[in-house]
């Protein structure tokens, strides 16, 4: 059985920042990540709100975080956690092959994109329906595509897609976008962007691949068809909180509650990043969460005193 002082679940900006702060505080730190280092920012083409960096790609920012982790010789293990259980003096984590024990846990597992749930979405996922413009945009060179959503992610990704698509329809169910004004103005200034407001998709249709959208205007009920080769969906996120829902308090959607020190209702479990109840989910706020959670975990471990040897 492998023992650590602090285990961090998730290697996005929150988890990696927590690891740096925990390591610098002298803790024995292990980061567990089921996918790749970086989390959702790997799917972001341009980042313009990271302090001190006027503009960066998500990949470039991740590489700088990776270099920082390697500088402190912090171990990041690619593995999926299947269960987290309280034990006397800590927590037991089960992964594919290992059983780990830790004195404190920082849960920074992030979130995932919400699905529309309309007919055709599941059928055409991977053959016209996508949740990642950076991943799939190049497949739609010279075609017309649609982006569904009205927040920062939808508007920013619509602008990115103009690099490849002939036309990008930006479809939103309200009469104004929820995204930041500067983001909206920048995107709508692009002649390839065509906003379609007060409208929702009722069906994604085609034969072997996406060919069209069936749309409905929410104000007048009028239905229409829109010919597109791709549909990119950005309609919010859902938390990756399933692993700890039996241990901590969360809201009706599954976002985890925490106090000002990022401690959850379970002593010894701290939360950071997109997975928690928060008013803003950005890379910079996730990193700030990671720093606070790490120092709170350090204080918690310090108060526990020396670990009891088995």
Active site positions, annotated: 132, 135-136
CB 276 within 8 A of CB 253: no
Gyration radius of the chain's alpha carbons: 21
Phi-psi region of 135 (alpha: psi -120 to 50; beta: other; left: phi over 0): alpha
Within the chain, residue ranges assigned H as helices are 13-24, 58-71, 121-124, 133-136, 152-161, 181-188, 283-304
- Long-range CB pairs of 53-56, under 8 A, 24+ apart, other chains included: none
Scanning the structure block, which residue is given the tokens 């004004």?
Answer: 181
CA torsion through residues 55, 60, 66, 67, sign:
negative
CB 25 within 8 A of CB 294: yes
- CA dist., res. 240 & res. 221, Å (int): 35
Beta strands in 2-118 (DSSP E): 2-9, 29-33, 75-78, 81-87, 90-95, 99-107, 111-113
Give the distance from CA 215 to its chain's centroid: 28
């Amino acid at each position: 059985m492998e023992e650590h002082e602090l285990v961090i679940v998730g290697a996005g900006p929150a988890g990696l920042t927590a690891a740096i702060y925990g390591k610098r505080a002298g803790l024995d730190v292990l980061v567990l990540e089921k996918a790749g280092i970086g989390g959702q920012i790997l799917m972001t083409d341009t980042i313009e709100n990271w302090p001190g960096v006027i503009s960066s790609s998500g990949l470039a920012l991740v590489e700088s975080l990776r270099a920082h982790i390697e500088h402190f010789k912090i171990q990041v293990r690619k593995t999926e956690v299947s269960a987290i259980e309280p034990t006397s003096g800590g927590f037991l984590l089960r992964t594919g092959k290992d059983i780990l024990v830790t004195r404190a846990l920082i849960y920074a597992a992030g979130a995932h994109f919400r699905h529309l749930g309309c007919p055709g979405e599941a059928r055409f996922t991977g053959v016209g329906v996508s949740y990642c413009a950076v991943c799939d945009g190049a497949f739609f060179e010279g075609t017309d595509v649609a982006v569904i959503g009205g927040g920062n992610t939808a508007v920013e990704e619509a602008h990115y897609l103009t690099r490849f698509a002939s036309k990008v329809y930006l479809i939103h169910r309200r009469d104004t976008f929820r995204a930041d004004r500067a983001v909206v103005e920048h995107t709508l200034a692009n002649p390839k962007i065509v906003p379609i407001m007060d409208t929702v998709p009722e069906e994604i249709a085609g034969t072997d691949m996406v060919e069209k959208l069936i749309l409905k205007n929410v104000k007048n009920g009028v239905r229409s068809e829109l010919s597109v080769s791709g549909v990119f969906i950005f309609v919010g996120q859902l938390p990756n909180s399933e692993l700890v829902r039996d241990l901590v308090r969360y809201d009706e959607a599954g976002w985890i509650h925490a106090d000002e020190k990022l401690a959850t209702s379970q002593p010894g479990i701290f939360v950071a990043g997109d997975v928690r109840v928060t008013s803003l989910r950005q890379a910079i706020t996730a990193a700030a969460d990671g720093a606070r959670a790490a120092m709170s975990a350090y204080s918690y471990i310090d108060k526990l005193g020396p670990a009891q040897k088995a």
